[in-house]
Amino acid sequence: MALPFLPGQVFDRKIGKTKFHKTHQFDYRNDVSQYVGESKCGIGGDVLPGQKLNPRHSHFPKGVGPEAPSWVAFDRQVLCFDAYFQEAVHEKREEQYRIRRCKIYFYLEDDSIQVIEPKVENSGIPQGTLIRRHRIPLPPPGDEEFYTVEHFNVGKKMNFYSRIFKITGCDEFTHNFLRKLGVRVTPSSTTPSDPYSDHRKQIVGSMQPLRPYEKEDTLKQFLQYDRRVLRFYCLWDDSDSMFGDAREMILHYFLADDTVEIREVINPNAGRDAAPVFLRRQKLPKEPVPLHQPGEITGRTVLNVFGPMGHGGRWILDSLKTGAVHIDHYLDQDITLGSVINVWGRKFLVCDCDDFTKEFYRTKYGLDSFDSIKYKAPPHVFPPREIPPYNGFGSEEDSLCSCLSLIPKPPKRDFIKFMEKDRHGLESNVLRFMARMNTSRPIDMDRRFIISYFLSDDTILVFEPPQRNSGILGGKFLERGRIKKPDQDSYYVAQNLYIGANVQFFNHEFILVDADEYAVEYMEKHKYEFSKANMEHILPKLQSVADEHYEELKSVFSQNDVDNSGQISFPAFWSVLKRFGAGLSEHEMLTLCRYYAEEKADIGNLTMIIASVQEQLRKANFEDFTAMKEACQYEDINRTGTLEAKSLHNLCLRFKVPAKQELLDVILSQTERNDQGLVKYDHFLKLINWRDSPVSLQKIVPIQAPEAKPSEKIGPKDRVKVINYKNLLQQLLHSE
């Protein structure tokens, strides 16, 4: 009978309490004030009616582990327990229950549990992870709480989702950890055996032979001689058979397993199919053996002691192997130089071996002499290939390719030389010479030809300018191509062409009488390739003349130098060189004149050319001079006010200046330059600016200004005006 809930009739619940504070209901979370009193208790810590507290985690005493959160202090620390559970088996005669072993893992960082059952072979049961990792609640009625570390110990029974797990043991780490927590760890117990598993083991054990096969230990040989192969060079003389001949073979003996492989040496154009392997890798018997019946060759044999052949007979193991089939195979000691090997009825003569094989036999068997047998026939000497003469069709290189191979291929070009010497910008890489025919025929004596030599592919083009009232139709005289010298052994190269040279193109003899400015300048820039433009080769020729006729040479120069300025005119200097320089060619004489020249002749009337260009720009209403200056300043990175002549040439093309490019190049050549030879673009733009710097001439026809007759064109000789002969004499005296 309960007492009524009246004053004086009930016990005072405050007796023994020391805390009567009210719990904290408000707090800050992420710097935001929030109400946090859902999980807080009432006054004095009493649980309010209907309140559910958060499940607690494992409690570890102080001093065990570092003072840090559990997910930091116990990271990657797991308790491992050995357990089993019993599973009932219904409607089966062989077994009534099963004992299933498993592992229970308890993760200390978050109190999660994982149960794993090791896989058993041929069990037929889905095994592996039985319970995935998570926090497992306690069995009812305490299912509001979860398992913690205090619930685990050896010998306890754990109820995981109505399945009882019996813990039988743990590992060393788990044992030590529980002892540090103050838990008395129960000694490990044995797991009961599974009757059906024991029955299966008896069945499997009865199927194992009581006397197993004898094992041959080949692992030692494999580890010792792996990837070590003996190589022998053999000869198979098959001349006795029809259409047979001697064939070369290579025999490979693998020391790892005493197997043999044979490959055939097939020479090019032998007429045989290139089979990869003549004999596949196998053990080679010394005598050919027939194909055995199935079961005839086995690792063990039995003897019928007594009884019928069928059921009921008695059999014993033949330990002496009296009925075994023995086959002798070739080993390394059976193969020596000069021996004959029987390869399935084919006689192979061992003639030679490689250096590794010799070293192997020298080390293992103590052999010193390895006299090889000469089995190769002397190489067949083929007659030299006869190249038929050139028939005149196509180029000679193209015709030669049809004689070198069955399928003609185009001749290979020097692509690197083509890319380096091809035309780019102002560099044409074409040497042009004026030539005449070396003939006594009056009709051919006045003919002139332009010989163009292309440096990119060493080809020559001959063009004849048309002349009025000559009776000869001008045009292309010789197609562009490589031309052989009269000796028919070598081709003409750039060093064979110079002023004064005598060349012969297909029975037409030409004398080079002049060259353009680009050809002469190119030869002077590359003087080490062209000896006719190299002063180091020309001055020694004059040195012999100066040693004998120095005073006479000096007096001739003084007679032509009236004002004693040390300079004479070009015609006078040319006549002196012709008089004393008998061993010099015209090109060498021109190189001397240009080397010691003081100044060059003006290219026409520069003022007239500027006026002609400005008149053309004015008629086309071209006024992009400001944009051209801005483009020059953009390319002038260092702000020096200068650019290369090539850049200004391309600039005129980019802006489409409506004037002939030849006239612009002439103005560009006369523009002011700095010490490095760069053009001052402000001065160039000022010369062609018809609006700010106009140049006007009376009676000028701008259209006729760029037209120049071939006879009026200025050559390299016309550019030299005055020559300083004193520098030449001083250099000749200094060289003495």
Q: Which residues face 166 on adjacent strands?
A: 84, 157
Note whether 328 and 247 are same-domain residues.
Answer: yes
Note whether 108 and 168 are same-domain residues.
Answer: yes
Does residue 54 belong to any structural domain of this protein? Answer: no
Q: What DSSP assignment string belongs to 221-270?
A: HHHHHTT-EEEEEEEEE-TTSTT--EEEEEEEEETTTTEEEEEE---TT-
Note whether 626 and 593 are same-domain residues.
Answer: no
User: How far apart are alpha carbons 346 and 586 in whole angstroms?
Assistant: 81
Q: Is residue 81 within 8 Å of 101, Cβ to Cβ?
A: no
CB atoms within 10 A of CB 288: 10
- pLDDT, residue 122, reads 82
Closest CA to 471 of 500, 513, 441: 441
Note whether 238 and 361 are same-domain residues.
Answer: yes
Note whether 230 and 356 are same-domain residues.
Answer: yes
User: How far apart are alpha carbons 184 and 595 in whole angstroms?
Assistant: 113
Note whether 88 and 115 are same-domain residues.
Answer: yes
Note whether 542 and 608 are same-domain residues.
Answer: no
Note whether 576 and 651 are same-domain residues.
Answer: no
- pLDDT, residue 273, reads 85
3-class SS at 552? helix
Q: Is 249 exposed, middle or buried (0-12, 13-18, 19+ CB in 10 A)?
A: buried
Note whether 340 and 463 are same-domain residues.
Answer: no
- pLDDT, residue 577, reads 83
What is the value of pTM for the model shown? 0.45
Does residue 379 belong to any structural domain of this protein? Answer: no
Closest CA to 534 of 500, 567, 495: 495
Does residue 571 belong to any structural domain of this protein? Answer: yes
Q: Which residues of 654-670 are buried (b: 16+ CB within 10 A; e: fewer)?
A: eeebebbeebbebbbeb
Domain containing 231: what range? Answer: 226-289+321-365
User: How far apart are alpha carbons 73 and 108 in whole angstroms?
Assistant: 9
The 3-state DSSP composition of the chain as helix, strand, coil percent (nearest 5) reads: 25, 25, 50
* Mean pLDDT split into 10-residue runs, the chain, 736 residues: 68 74 78 75 73 75 67 90 93 87 94 94 88 94 89 94 95 94 91 88 79 76 94 93 89 95 90 88 92 78 66 69 83 93 94 95 92 83 85 81 86 87 84 93 90 93 91 90 84 92 92 92 91 87 77 81 79 83 83 78 67 89 91 90 90 90 85 86 90 69 44 66 80 64
pLDDT digits (tens, 9 = 90+) for 19-70: 777 777 788 877 778 877 776 777 777 777 776 667 778 877 776 555 777 8
Strands 448-454 and 459-464: antiparallel
Q: What is the DSSP letter of 383?
A: P
- pLDDT, residue 604, reads 47
Note whether 185 and 102 are same-domain residues.
Answer: yes
Q: Is 391 exposed, middle or buried (0-12, 13-18, 19+ CB in 10 A)?
A: exposed
Q: Is residue 257 within 8 Å of 218, Cβ to Cβ?
A: yes
Note whether 593 and 607 are same-domain residues.
Answer: no
Note whether 156 and 232 are same-domain residues.
Answer: no
CATH code (residue 480) = 2.30.29.170
Provide the CB-side half-sphere exposure for 287 (13 A, CA): 5
Number of domains within the chain: 5
Does residue 707 belong to any structural domain of this protein? Answer: no
CB atoms within 10 A of CB 721: 14
